[in-house]
């Protein structure tokens, strides 16, 4: 927290800015020295907006959440804005026009986004966070009022300079609806400045044009100076998009992305990327980050940084109990823990991330499933029955972490985990699942 004495407060506030810069959290700022000076004057109210354009927030949103949370830990007051109004419009994308969701869907998603945001901020105490929704001050404003009082302060020429707008104009064009998004977001900043004396807006670097439109609007209307700060676009060294896997976006919702998949995303971070992610996302101090960096360089096979980051992020988003369950599952799948200790829902989530095969109830005869050779081949853990037999004879085939040495062996119904699954493994690291499913009606 910010200290009461002037010198202590000065040191801590600037330590916050220094820490953000050292971690690479700050991509752009209107004037970082002025921001540090204003932070030094006492608690500042800041905000970041989250549009409900999907049923859940994702890893890109998480960076914004954690950035605002750092300000709160330093004694400042966050406003978590749910874009109930802007979510009806959608921020322009370079790739093309968004499909507009119904008001009912946006309202449902707003509620879900609000519930996700609530777990990351402290809503009690002297610098308690507040949840706000821009629909509350937008829906009653008339078109004429908005155009006269807000729209007149915007230069179309400057709006056209925005990267996403320029890209759309060079291709299929852009609707007036999406073109107006920047004005709506700027209006949010003005309203929050008036109601809460909000003087800092944060967001991703792709929001720089929208955010500075708000600082300019406040300067024009209120003759006041406020701040803008953005975080960088997070990239991966292999050229693929951060926050996505072959199965899709990494969401914060545990149904849309299971805690197991969420944990594995961080655990599978490339050595070239993991320290960038750690500096941006982790709340660990500089000493621990240095230890992770040294361990990654000296003993990369131990994956210390990946394990630390996966544990911290999964606990933050899904809780300690979920983290413990996925860690148990991760160890058990590779023979380092009792696979019977893994909760069934966690096991199902883990097996959904690896190749697999299904066995219908009709294929079970006298309590016996198809042979190990058939299961290895069907799950594509090996390239055919011949390869399956060689794997077994070489001692590299496992079912539920038990080595199978007889290529005629058949698992029994009693071997099924939770009456439903078998875990197949080839060697030390290659996993597949078998699931018994009910017969489909004719």
pLDDT for 95 equals 75
Residue 348 has pLDDT above 50, yes or no: yes
DSSP 302: G
Tokens representing 120 are: 């990351």
Rounded Cα distance between 366 and 160, Å, is: 72
pLDDT confidence band for 440 (50 / 70 / 90):
low
pLDDT, one tens digit per residue, over 176-229 is 888 889 999 999 999 999 999 999 999 999 999 999 999 999 999 999 999 999
DSSP 97: P
DSSP 57: -
Percent of the chain whose predicted confidence (pLDDT) is above 90: 79
Rounded Cα distance between 105 and 99, Å, is: 12
| Number of neighbouring beta carbons within 10 Å of residue 376 | 28
Asked whether the beta carbons of 10 and 40 are under 8 A apart, the reply is yes
List of domains in the chain: 6-231 (3.40.50.620), 244-338 (1.10.240.10), 354-437 (3.10.290.10)
How do 130-133 and 77-82 pair as beta strands?
parallel
Residue 400 has pLDDT above 60, yes or no: yes
- Mean pLDDT (the chain) is 91
Residue 155 has pLDDT above 90, yes or no: no
For 115, the enclosing helix (H) or strand (E) is: helix 103-117
pLDDT, one tens digit per residue, over 299-340 is 999 999 999 999 999 999 999 999 999 999 988 988 888 998
pLDDT for 441 equals 55
DSSP secondary structure string for all residues of 253-283: STTTS-HHHHHHHHHT--TTTHHHHHHHH--
Asked whether the beta carbons of 69 and 78 are under 8 A apart, the reply is yes
Rounded Cα distance between 242 and 28, Å, is: 20
CA distances from 188 to 9, 31, 48, 370 (A): 30, 21, 10, 62
- pLDDT-wise least confident of 255-269, 326-340, 372-386: 326-340
pLDDT, mean of residues 222-246: 92
Tokens representing 200 are: 């800092």
Residue 28 has pLDDT above 50, yes or no: yes
pLDDT for 2 equals 39
pLDDT, one tens digit per residue, over 52-100 is 999 999 999 999 999 999 999 999 999 999 999 999 998 877 777 788 8
Tokens representing 71 are: 């300000």
| Number of neighbouring beta carbons within 10 Å of residue 355 | 13
């Amino acid at each position: 927290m910010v200290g009461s004495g002037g010198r202590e407060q000065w040191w801590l506030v600037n330590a916050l800015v220094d820490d953000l810069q050292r971690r690479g959290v700050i991509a752009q700022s209107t004037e970082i020295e002025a921001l540090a000076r204003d932070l030094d004057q006492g608690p500042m109210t800041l905000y970041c907006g989250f549009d409900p354009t999907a049923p859940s927030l994702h890893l890109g949103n998480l960076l914004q959440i954690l950035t605002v949370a750092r300000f709160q830990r330093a004694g400042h007051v966050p406003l978590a804005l749910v874009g109930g109004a802007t979510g009806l419009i959608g921020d322009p994308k370079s790739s093309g026009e968004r499909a507009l969701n119904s008001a009912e869907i946006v309202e449902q998603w707003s509620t879900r986004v609000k519930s996700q945001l609530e777990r990351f901020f402290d809503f009690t105490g002297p610098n308690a966070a507040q949840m706000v929704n821009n629909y509350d001050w937008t829906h009653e404003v008339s078109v004429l009022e908005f155009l006269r009082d807000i729209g007149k302060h915007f230069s179309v020429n400057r709006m056209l300079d925005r990267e996403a707008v320029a890209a759309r104009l060079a291709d299929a064009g852009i609707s007036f609806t999406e073109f107006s998004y920047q004005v709506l977001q700027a209006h949010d900043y003005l309203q929050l400045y008036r109601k809460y004396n909000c003087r800092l807006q944060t967001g991703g670097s792709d929001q720089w044009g929208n955010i500075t439109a708000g600082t300019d609007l406040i300067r024009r209307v209120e003759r006041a100076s406020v701040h803008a700060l953005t975080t960088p676009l997070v990239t991966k060294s292999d050229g693929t998009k951060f926050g996505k896997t072959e199965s899709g976006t990494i969401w914060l919702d545990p149904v849309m992305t299971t805690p197991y998949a969420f944990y594995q995303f961080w655990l599978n971070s490339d050595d070239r990327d993991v320290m960038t992610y750690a500096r941006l996302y982790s709340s660990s101090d500089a000493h621990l980050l240095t230890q992770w960096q040294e361990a990654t360089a000296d003993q990369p096979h131990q994956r210390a940084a990946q394990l630390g980051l996966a544990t911290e992020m999964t606990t933050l988003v899904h809780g300690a109990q979920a983290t413990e369950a996925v860690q148990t599952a991760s160890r058990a799948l590779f023979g380092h823990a009792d696979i019977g200790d893994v909760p069934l829902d966690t096991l199902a989530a883990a097996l959904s991330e690896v190749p697999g095969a299904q066995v219908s109830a009709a294929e079970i005869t006298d309590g016996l499933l198809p042979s190990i050779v058939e299961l290895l081949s069907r799950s594509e853990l090996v390239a055919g029955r011949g390869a399956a037999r060689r794997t077994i004879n070489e001692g590299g085939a496992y079912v539920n972490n038990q080595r199978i040495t007889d290529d005629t062996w058949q698992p029994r119904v009693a071997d099924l985990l939770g009456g439903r699954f078998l875990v197949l493994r080839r060697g030390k690291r290659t996993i597949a699942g078998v699931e018994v499913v009910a017969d489909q009606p004719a």
